[in-house]
Amino acid sequence: MTKRIGKQTVKLQNPPSILSFASIVGPKEGQGPLGVYFDQVLEDDMFGEKSWEKAECKMLQETIKLAIKKANLTVDDINYVLAGDLLNQIISSSFMAREIQIPYIGLFGACSTMAESLSLAAMLVDGGFADYVVAATSSHFSSAERQYRFPLELGTQRPLTSTWTVTGAGATILGDTSKGNGPYITYVTNGRVVDLGIKDQFNMGAAMAPAAADTIKAHFDDTGFKQSDYDLIISGDLGKIGVDLTLKLLEKVNLDISDRFTDSGLKIFDTEKQDTHAGASGCGCSAAVLNGYLIKEILKGKYNRVLFMSTGALLSPTSTLQGESIPGIAHAVTIQRTLD
């Protein structure tokens, strides 16, 4: 177990290189502050399909195909695709895999799935089990609302603690260190399920914040890094409330990352102008921000070392109706522009 350091972290001996990345988002996301970064902005969120679920599946499939093309690879070159989404039985990912015909590992980590897929893909490549792996995920506002909340036709009022599920997909292709020039995945910290008893499905930020704080603390404890070793620490979809709570929880364990901490859910929308209340959420949130904005900024030299962490609320409509609380999970990976 020479690659394991501490309780939850792996230091990759042959850090996989990010060979290419792609993102497709919906119209609302394209109108946000990061709109110019995405590879494709849909004109309408149906994407020419007959249902929102089919549209999400197509969006994920097209994003993966675009990432493969950008890497100058073919579908036959890819050893595995690791993907997941928010829908029951992860149908967007499974039906995508039915069409694309790459060996497929389906994942469910709720909104943590982008970092989950990226962490497992990195370990597969580092371990010598694959030459090329795609890590991907997606979400769709309308398909998620239909499953988790109320039919859109009701026009139900959303409380100010709620977040807006991103219509978007992101895909990252990893290859062996020698196959690319970075950025590189150097560390992986997989999180524990943490549950402090939050039951409000319209306050996902509060439900996920304890897991986010737990994973960040574990990462620093395991690696010995200081906050100053990172140019940026970015979470997935905590939103404003989740970010505030995460910082307060970290203060209690003497970690102050407030000067370098932000959230994908606060970057993808203008919360005031676009009326997204506490921010954004959904698997596609961190996926689109990572594969649209963040990797490009790393390549430009704006950031040298980034801790990318996606957070997920592990609930279902059934558990919510049965009065269950909402467990949270957070996974993190270190992305470096160059190798030290």
**pLDDT at residue 98 above 70?**
yes
Of 149, 177, 205, which one is at a domain's C-terminal end?
177
b or e along 102-124 (b: 16 or more beta carbons within 10 Å of the residue's beta carbon)?
bebbbbbbbbbbbbbbbbbbbbb
Give the relative orientation of helices 52-70 and 141-148 as an angle to the nearest 10 degrees: 140
pLDDT band, very low/low/confident/very high, at 176 (cuts 50, 70, 90):
very high
Residue range 134-157: average pLDDT? 82
CA-based nearest residue to 219, from 191, 186, 247, 251: 191
Instruction: Read off the pLDDT of residues 106-129 as tens digits, 9 standing for 90 and up.
Output: 999 999 999 999 999 999 999 999
Least confident of 8-17, 155-164, 243-252, 330-339: 155-164
Residues 227 and 245 in one domain: yes
Indicate if 111 and 36 belong to the same structural domain. Answer: yes
Q: What is the pLDDT of residue 1?
A: 56
Do 40 and 162 have their domain in common?
yes
Q: What's the domain count of the chain?
A: 2
Same domain, 37 and 173: yes
What is the predicted pLDDT for the residue at 155?
A: 65
CATH at 91: 3.40.47.40
Q: Do 35 and 90 have their domain in common?
A: yes
Q: Which of 134, 154, 177 is the last residue of a domain?
A: 177
Question: Does residue 109 sit in the same domain as residue 221?
Answer: no
Q: What is the pLDDT of residues 18-61, one digit of tens each?
A: 999 999 999 999 999 999 999 999 999 999 999 999 999 999 99
Q: What is the pLDDT of residue 279?
A: 86
Domain boundary, last residue among 127, 146, 177: 177
Question: Could you tell me if 95 and 152 lie in one domain?
Answer: yes
One domain for residues 170 and 195: no
Q: What percent of the chain has pLDDT over 90?
A: 83
Same domain, 236 and 315: yes
Range of the domain at 132: 4-177
CA distances from 88 to 144, 173, 177 (A): 10, 26, 36
Query: Alpha carbon of 116 to those of 28, 188, 245, 279, 296: distances in Å?
Result: 26, 9, 22, 22, 21
Cα(264)–Cα(308) distance, integer angstroms: 10
Answer whether 286's CB lies under 8 Å from 264's CB.
yes
The single-letter code of the amino acid at 218 is: A
Quote the CA–CA distance of 33 and 289 in Å, as a whole number: 11
Average pLDDT over residues 140-149: 84
Token pair 């990432």: residue: 67
CA distances from 325 to 148, 194, 206, 213 (A): 15, 11, 12, 18
For 258-270, letters b (16+ CB in 10 Å) and e give eebbebbbbbbbe
Each residue of 255-288: pLDDT tens digit? 999 999 999 999 999 988 988 888 888 999 999 9
Whole-structure pTM value: 0.95
Are residue 185 and residue 104 in the same domain, yes or no?
A: no
pLDDT over 90 at 317, yes or no? no
Q: Do 37 and 9 share a structural domain?
A: yes
Residue 252 sits in the same domain as residue 127: no
3-state secondary structure the chain: CCCEECCCEEECCCCCEEEEEEEEECHHHHCCCCHHHCCEECCCCCCCCCCHHHHHHHHHHHHHHHHHHHCCCCHHHCCEEEEECCCHHHHHHHHHHHHHCCCEEECCECECHHHHHHHHHHHHHHCCCCCEEEEEEEECHHHHHHHHCCCHHHCCCCCCCCCEECCEEEEEEEECHHHCCCCEEEEEECCCCECCCCCCCCCHHHHHHHHHHHHHHHHHHHHCCCHHHCCEEEECCCHHHHHHHHHHHHHCCCCCCCCCEEEHHHHCCCCCCCCCCCCEECHHHHHHHHHHHHHHHHHHCCCCEEEEEEEEECCCHHHHHCCCCCCEEEEEEEEECCCC
